[in-house]
């Protein structure tokens, strides 16, 4: 006994046929849905890197296992990609040949009626002539094939057109998404009010370019954050409005234009857009040594921790000898209670206070390990002071002084280049139009045959309603 | 009238609606219980209670409509800013869809389950989800709120109706396989009608749901800088979309009907409900605003 031998090409063809079969396309579709569930259960690196770190800290062993299966990067994982690439191929394999087949079919006239109409749905006879039936069908825009004593009429080709259109549009959407991830970029930068952002890679705190994005050819726009205003509801403390007044230029040398940026109103430079994403406060401090020489001066962005903008930050003074670091918490509106200690009770600057602890020792900034700008690794350092400051106050910690001069807001700008966006949008609009056509247009055929005295009518269609249509036809 | 007055009026109207739905529920329950007589159904004795139930249902729906409008006026915006507002509007869509479709098909038998569902939705909204009327946070200040959320709410109301019909199908189907319908179930339409109705609702609402997702993507592009970011809410609306797409394919291309199709539509509908309840209350991500 010998097993049937599969030739190289025929097994490929077999695979192809499996992949493009309706059943397997459906299974792939359901698998894609199933595969996207874990991404909504476990924190994802692309959305909340901090939560992923937290997860690693609380369940290190389990997290390691989850990470092996890409459960913190579900939507970029090999298995997720495998499913959608297979689905994509299957979609093309289903739709393209079918479009071809259908185009030929649509150009042909409807096939003549079968020999007996009696087995078909809605069979009936009427006292009329073939001519009058043809007239009625023509008036109702059926396409007709006619011979001496019978005719076949068809209507509703748009249904299948819509169906194919829908699937072709989905391919366009997927291509658009692909183009964005390969040719696009996104990046974030914290800009303190009064500062200018110049669109070059080094200005970013965080930059994620696509594989074929050219970092040397970024549009040379600049944005000066002139003023930022955050309004809050006095009762609920919810934000009401954020307004950034920006002076923007298309290149560093051209004259600035004033623009307003809001959460739902980004700036546009060609195919890049700039979004107002988050905001916080930068305390302005001056640090002097014992002789009164300024070792550090300027705004330091702090990271908000809650909706009342209690913020944490680090002021690092590598120029002091030995090095000094301030681990600090900032309260826009300082308040105290027994449970929480110090906290902020309102997100606006009603009673701003800066709480600092002073650390002396090696800041480890030259160690080569990337550091958070908001935190100081105090291992091996010594605490030499602790103080709360209001605006204008100074604190002498023995080997120097720190002065809290004031507060300026900062904004987080997100710059996005998304070249496939239009394709995805146009694709989805066409997809809806196609979907409506494929769901709501009826396709049906009507056959009429004359036996000299009477005519016989019958037909079939894929949605109810044919019966009434034939009834109307007979009445005429 | 000030915003606060409108907010109080809205609360009152929604309580009125709740009581009227409760009366309607009693009417439908009475009609259901007493039309079943040994040896057959006698509808003549319950005609009147059925009609009274329907009248209460209409009064309740009118009060709910006004309540939703007043809620919007209280903050001079569309009333879809948090889960409470989303729930009362969803219940309203569900009620209106029932009234409209009930004119075409004989759906009075559905009155009882539908009033129960509405009472549950409104009850949770009032007791657990209530938040005082407030202005919108900046991310929600967009015309897309109207378009995206309206499409999502209407889709939800209709998915729920389709699921109610599919459940009725499965229930009766089981009864018929076990030796025939109970006296009460004899009042219900044939399995074919239920099957078709459930399918038609899905076919009607699927393009709307697609549109809700696309409108959300357009809005996300303007507010968050990306049109798709696998936020939990986005992920689950995508899953719902996939499940209903699979349902339509299974029906149209693979010829699924009846029991299998009903189960698939129930699973798809549950994914919508899961998205609404679980992701809003326990989930994280960017769709969580204003507490709830």
**CA A292 to CA A411: how far, in whole Å?**
32
Residue A475's pLDDT band (boundaries 50, 70, 90)?
Answer: low
Q: What is the pLDDT of residue B283?
A: 64
Contact A284, A299 (CB under 8 A): yes
Q: What is the pLDDT of residue A21?
A: 78
Q: What is the pLDDT of residue B287?
A: 67
| A287 and A366 co-located in one domain | yes
| A381 and A358 co-located in one domain | yes
Over residues A89-97, the mean pLDDT reads: 86
In a domain, A3, yes or no: no
| A217 and A244 co-located in one domain | yes
In a domain, A86, yes or no: yes
Q: What is the pLDDT of residue B243?
A: 94
Residues in chain B: 292
Which residues in chain B are closer than 8 Å to A416, comparing Cβ atoms? Answer: 225-226
Chain A residue with CA closest to B248: the answer is A439
The burial of A428, by beta-carbon neighbours within 10 Å (0-12 exposed, 13-18 middle, 19 or more buried), is given as buried
In a domain, A2, yes or no: no
**CA B215 to CA B79: how far, in whole Å?**
18
| A326 and A342 co-located in one domain | yes
Contact A380, A260 (CB under 8 A): no
Q: How many CB pairs below 8 A link A and B?
A: 122
- What does the domain layout of chain B look like in residue ranges? 1-135, 138-292
**CA A211 to CA A433: how far, in whole Å?**
33
B225 close contact with A: CB closer than 8 A: yes
Contact A218, A242 (CB under 8 A): no
**CA A34 to CA A417: how far, in whole Å?**
30
Residue A52's pLDDT band (boundaries 50, 70, 90)?
Answer: confident
| A113 and A89 co-located in one domain | no
Contact A230, A239 (CB under 8 A): yes
Cβ of B250 and A26 within 8 Å? yes
B222 close contact with A: CB closer than 8 A: yes
A115-118: long-range contacts, CB 8 A cutoff, minimum separation 24:
A117/A447, A117/A449, A117/A456, A117/A457, A117/A458, A118/A456, A118/A458
Cβ of A186 and B226 within 8 Å? yes
Residue for token digits 């900034």?
A365
H-helix or E-strand containing A151?
strand A150-155
Which of B254, B273, B265 has its CA nearest to residue B170? B265
Which residues in chain B are closer than 8 Å to A186, comparing Cβ atoms? Answer: 225-226
Residues 31-60 of A with CB under 8 A from B: 32-33, 36-37, 39-40, 43-44, 46-48, 51
Residues in chain A: 476
**CA B107 to CA A473: how far, in whole Å?**
32
| A272 and A346 co-located in one domain | no
B239 close contact with A: CB closer than 8 A: yes
Distance from CA of A46 to the nearest CA of B (A): 9
Residue for token digits 């959305």?
A47
Cβ of B223 and A264 within 8 Å? yes
Q: What is the pLDDT of residue B290?
A: 44
| A87 and A134 co-located in one domain | no
DSSP assignment of A96-130, as one string? HHHHHHHHHHHHSPPPPPPS--TTSEEEEEES--H
H-helix or E-strand containing A246?
strand A239-249
**CA A320 to CA A287: how far, in whole Å?**
9
* B129 secondary structure, DSSP code: I
In a domain, A383, yes or no: yes
- Number of domains, chain A: 5
* A73 secondary structure, DSSP code: S
All residue ranges of chain B with pLDDT < 70 are: 35-45, 184, 283-292
| A112 and A171 co-located in one domain | no
B2 close contact with A: CB closer than 8 A: no
Q: What is the pLDDT of residue A228?
A: 94
The number of CA neighbours under 13 Å toward the Cβ of B213 is 25
Which residues in chain B are closer than 8 Å to A75, comparing Cβ atoms? Answer: 230
**CA B108 to CA B88: how far, in whole Å?**
23
Tell whether domain B1-135 is in CATH 1.25.40.
no
Write the ipTM. 0.79
Distance from CA of B163 to the nearest CA of A (A): 19
Say which residue, A23 or A436, is predicted with more confidence. Answer: A436
Is residue A2 predicted with pLDDT exceeding 50?
A: no
In a domain, A187, yes or no: yes
Which residues in chain A are closer than 8 Å to B285, comparing Cβ atoms? Answer: 47
Is residue A177 predicted with pLDDT exceeding 90?
A: no
A439 close contact with B: CB closer than 8 A: yes
Q: What is the pLDDT of residue A3?
A: 47
- Output phi, psi for A404, to 5 deg: -95, 105
Of B225, B230, B250, the CB nearest to A275: B225
Which residues in chain B are closer than 8 Å to A264, comparing Cβ atoms? Answer: 138-139, 141-142, 144, 219, 222-223
| A236 and A270 co-located in one domain | yes
Of A36, A186, A236, the CB nearest to B134: A236
Chain A residue with CA closest to B209: the answer is A432
β-strand partners of A324: A317, A360
| Both tokens assigned to A35 | 């595969």
B195 close contact with A: CB closer than 8 A: no
Q: What is the pLDDT of residue A182?
A: 86
Q: Please, where are the H alpha helices in A441-465? A: none
In a domain, A1, yes or no: no
The count of other CB atoms within 10 Å of the CB of residue A347 is 23
A421 close contact with B: CB closer than 8 A: yes
Residues 100-119 of A with CB under 8 A from B: none
β-strand partners of A335: A343
In a domain, A200, yes or no: yes
Of B222, B279, B285, the CB nearest to A264: B222
A98-106: long-range contacts, CB 8 A cutoff, minimum separation 24:
A98/A164, A99/A164, A99/A168, A102/A160, A102/A161, A102/A164, A106/A157, A106/A160, A106/A161
**CA A460 to CA A427: how far, in whole Å?**
33
Contact A420, A302 (CB under 8 A): no
Q: ω into residue A322 within 30 of 0, thus cis?
A: yes
Question: In chain A, pLDDT over 90 holds for what percent of residues?
Answer: 36
Q: What is the pLDDT of residue B35?
A: 66
Which residues in chain A are closer than 8 Å to B238, comparing Cβ atoms? Answer: 33, 36
Whole-number Cα distances in Å, A24 to A154, A171, B250: 32, 18, 12
The number of CA neighbours under 13 Å toward the Cβ of A336 is 4
| A287 and A402 co-located in one domain | yes
Of B141, B225, B243, the CB nearest to A33: B243
3-state SS string for B46-70: CHHHHHHHHHHHHHHHHHHHHHHHH
**CA A59 to CA A301: how far, in whole Å?**
31
Chain B residue with CA closest to A231: the answer is B138
B210 close contact with A: CB closer than 8 A: yes
Cβ of A432 and B211 within 8 Å? yes
Cβ of A265 and B222 within 8 Å? yes
Is residue A294 predicted with pLDDT exceeding 50?
A: yes
| A301 and A213 co-located in one domain | no
pTM: 0.80
Cβ of A48 and B207 within 8 Å? no
| A194 and A165 co-located in one domain | no
B3 close contact with A: CB closer than 8 A: no
B119 close contact with A: CB closer than 8 A: no
**CA B54 to CA B60: how far, in whole Å?**
10
Q: What is the pLDDT of residue B138?
A: 76
Residues 270-289 of B with CB under 8 A from A: 279, 283-285
Whole-number Cα distances in Å, A437 to A162, A430, A443, B240: 5, 11, 11, 21
DSSP assignment of A298-354, as one string? EE---EE-STT--EEEEEEETTSSS-EEEEEEEESBEEEETTTEEEES-SSSSB-EE
Is residue A43 predicted with pLDDT exceeding 70?
A: yes
Distance from CA of B26 to the nearest CA of A (A): 37
Cβ of B214 and A432 within 8 Å? yes
Cβ of A29 and B245 within 8 Å? yes
β-strand partners of A396: A401
The number of CA neighbours under 13 Å toward the Cβ of A281 is 27
Between A12-21, A195-204, B13-22, B150-159, the lowest mean confidence (pLDDT) is in: A12-21
B139 close contact with A: CB closer than 8 A: yes
Domain containing residue A332:
282-407
- Output phi, psi for A359, to 5 deg: -125, 135
Q: Where are the beta strands (DSSP E) in A338-454?
A: 341-344, 353-360, 382-390, 394-396, 400-417, 444-450
DSSP assignment of B25-38, as one string? HHHHHHHHHHTEET
Contact A166, A440 (CB under 8 A): no
**CA A198 to CA A187: how far, in whole Å?**
13
* A447 secondary structure, DSSP code: E
């Amino acid at each position: 006994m010998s097993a049937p031998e599969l030739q190289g090409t025929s097994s490929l063809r077999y695979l192809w046929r499996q992949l493009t079969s309706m059943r397997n396309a459906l299974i792939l579709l359901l698998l894609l849905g199933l595969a996207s569930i874990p991404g909504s259960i476990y924190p994802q690196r692309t959305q909340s890197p901090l939560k992923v770190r937290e997860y690693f800290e609380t369940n290190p062993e389990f997290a390691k296992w989850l990470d092996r299966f890409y459960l913190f990067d579900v939507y970029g994982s090999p298995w997720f990609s495998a499913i959608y690439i297979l689905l994509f191929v299957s979609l093309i394999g289903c739709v393209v040949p079918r479009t071809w087949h259908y185009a030929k079919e649509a150009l042909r006239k409807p096939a003549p009626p079968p020999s007996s109409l009696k087995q078909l749905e809605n069979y009936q006879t009427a006292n009329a002539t073939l001519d009058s039936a043809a007239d009625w069908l023509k008036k109702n825009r059926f396409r007709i094939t006619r011979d001496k004593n019978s005719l076949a009429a068809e209507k509703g080709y748009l249904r299948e057109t819509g169906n194919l259109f829908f699937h072709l549009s989905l391919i366009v959407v997927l291509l658009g998404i692909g183009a964005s991830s390969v040719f696009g970029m996104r990046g974030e930068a914290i800009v303190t009010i009064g500062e200018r952002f110049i669109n070059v890679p080094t200005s970013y705190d965080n930059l994620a370019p696509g594989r074929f994005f050219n970092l040397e050819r970024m549009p040379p726009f600049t944005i000066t954050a002139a003023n930022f205003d955050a309004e809050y509801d006095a009762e609920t403390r919810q934000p009401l409005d954020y307004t950034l007044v920006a002076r923007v230029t298309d290149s560093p040398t051209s004259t600035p234009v004033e623009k307003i940026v809001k959460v739902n109103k980004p700036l546009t430079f060609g195919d890049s857009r700039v979004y107002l994403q988050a905001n916080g406060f930068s305390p302005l401090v001056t640090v002097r040594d014992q002789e009164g020489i300024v070792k550090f001066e300027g705004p330091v962005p702090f990271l908000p921790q809650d909706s009342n903008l209690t913020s944490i930050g680090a002021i690092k003074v590598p120029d002091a000898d030995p090095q000094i670091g301030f681990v600090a918490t900032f309260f826009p509106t300082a308040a105290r209670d027994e449970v929480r200690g110090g906290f902020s009770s309102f997100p606006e600057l009603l009673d701003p206070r800066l709480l600092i602890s002073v650390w002396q020792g090696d800041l480890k900034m030259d160690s080569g390990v990337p550091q958070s700008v908001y935190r100081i690794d105090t291992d091996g350092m010594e605490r030499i002071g602790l103080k709360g400051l209001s605006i204008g106050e100074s604190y002498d910690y023995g080997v120097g002084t720190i002065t809290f001069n004031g507060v300026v807001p900062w904004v987080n700008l997100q710059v996005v280049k998304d070249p496939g966006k239009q394709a995805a949008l146009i694709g989805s609009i066409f997809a809806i139009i196609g979907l409506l056509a494929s769901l709501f247009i009826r396709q049906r055929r009507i056959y009429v045959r004359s036996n000299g005295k009477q005519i016989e009518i019958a037909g079939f269609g894929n949605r109810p309603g044919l019966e009434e249509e034939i009834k109307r036809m007979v009445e005429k | 009238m000030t915003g606060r007055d409108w907010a109080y009026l809205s609360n009152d109207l929604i309580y009125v609606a709740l009581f009227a739905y409760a009366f309607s529920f009693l009417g439908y329950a009475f009609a259901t219980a007493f039309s079943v007589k040994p040896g057959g159904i006698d509808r003549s004795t319950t005609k009147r209670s059925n009609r009274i139930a329907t009248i209460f249902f209409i009064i309740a729906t009118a009060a709910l409509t006004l309540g939703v409008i007043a809620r919007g006026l209280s903050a001079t915006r569309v009333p879809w800013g948090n889960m409470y507002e989303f729930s009362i509007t969803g219940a309203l869509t569900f009620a209106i869809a029932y009234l409209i479709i009930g004119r075409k098909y004989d759906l009075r038998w559905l009155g009882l389950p539908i009033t129960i569902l509405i009472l549950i939705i409104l009850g949770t909204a009032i007791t657990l989800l209530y938040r005082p009327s407030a202005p919108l946070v900046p991310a929600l200040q967009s015309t897309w709120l109207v378009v995206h959320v309206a499409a999502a709410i209407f889709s939800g109301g209709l998915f729920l109706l389709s699921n109610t019909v599919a459940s009725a199908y499965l229930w009766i189907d089981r009864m018929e396989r076990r030796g025939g319908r109970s006296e009460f179930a004899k009042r219900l339409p044939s399995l074919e009608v239920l099957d078709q109705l459930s399918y038609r609702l899905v076919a009607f609402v699927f393009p709307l749901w697609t549109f809700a997702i696309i409108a959300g993507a357009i809005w996300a592009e303007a507010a968050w800088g990306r049109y798709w970011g696998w936020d939990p809410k986005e992920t689950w609306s995508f899953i719902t979309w996939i499940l209903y797409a699979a349902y339509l394919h299974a029906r149209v291309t693979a010829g699924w009907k009846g029991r299998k199709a009903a189960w698939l539509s129930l699973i798809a509908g549950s994914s919508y409900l899961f998205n609404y309840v679980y992701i809003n209350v326990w989930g994280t991500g960017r769709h969580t605003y204003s507490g709830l």
